[in-house]
Amino acid sequence: MRLFWRWLGLLAAACLALQLFFVARIAMMAVVNPQSTTFQRSEAWRIATEKGALRWSEQWLPYAQISEHLKRAVIASEDDGFAYHDGVDWDALEKAWQKNAKAQAQAQARAQAKARPAARAPKVVGGSTITQQLAKNLFLSGERNLLRKGQEFLLAFMLETLLDKERILEIYLNNVEWGEGVFGAEAAAQHYFNKPAARLAPSEAARLAVMLPRPKYFEKNLNSGYLASRAATIAARMGGAELP
């Protein structure tokens, strides 16, 4: 029994040390721009091994040099409560749970009707705020399970506690993926519109914002009807998006 408690104590100490490491890393980001994220490093490795060469485009821009249209478009599309929440939008998360549960129930009903094995239990997906997305990209793997989601919540709270909203949005817009090997607002603006991120028009900003959930897909389907219609919807909402 002593051995069990000793291992349990070591595990608790390791978990605490990991959280303190995250706190220190995030605190540094108040004054130091992150050089890369966990997601970027994994993508760089994947592209280099699959393609045999690394095509990469990224350039950091200060918050003031990123188009206000793009800031508003991303907030309107990804997280319209960004200015108010504490890192997690519980209402959006509850709706995502309900949607997942409904989809899973429908999948199980179809499986039973066809005498197939029952589908897996619903995962916690959707409803992520900009802060949660940043936490995941900065530090976590692409796995989707309750343990990883719990760590994502903790990291989101750390980010909101140690950084202001403007800094969170600045880091997010400079590191988010907008295509294969295309990271950050400046790289995206140059890649898709051959112009600096500071000069993006409202319609261009809206299109970039809509691409965020599936950037690699939309990079190959720029003429998608959904992309055009959704971008028009986001452009109409941008005026109501509150900036930090």
Quote the pLDDT of residue 124: 45
Residue 100: pLDDT band (50, 70, 90) is low
The span from the CA of 177 to the CA of 46, in Å, is: 14
Residue 94 has pLDDT above 50, yes or no: yes
User: What are the backbone dihedrals phi and psi of residue 178, each rounded to the nearest 5 degrees, phi first?
Assistant: -125, 20
57: Cβ contacts below 8 Å, ≥ 6 apart: 181, 182, 183, 187, 190, 191
pLDDT in tens, 176-235: 999 999 999 999 999 999 999 999 999 999 999 999 999 999 999 999 999 999 999 999
Quote the pLDDT of residue 123: 44
Residue 119: pLDDT band (50, 70, 90) is very low
Quote the pLDDT of residue 144: 77
Q: What is the CB neighbour count within 10 angstroms for residue 224?
A: 16
For 115-135, what is the mean pLDDT? 68
Quote the pLDDT of residue 146: 83
pLDDT in tens, 38-55: 999 999 999 999 888 888
Give the max Cα distance, the chain.
Answer: 66
Domains of the chain (ranges plus CATH)? Answer: 17-83+163-240 (1.10.3810.10)
Q: What is the mean pLDDT of the chain?
A: 89
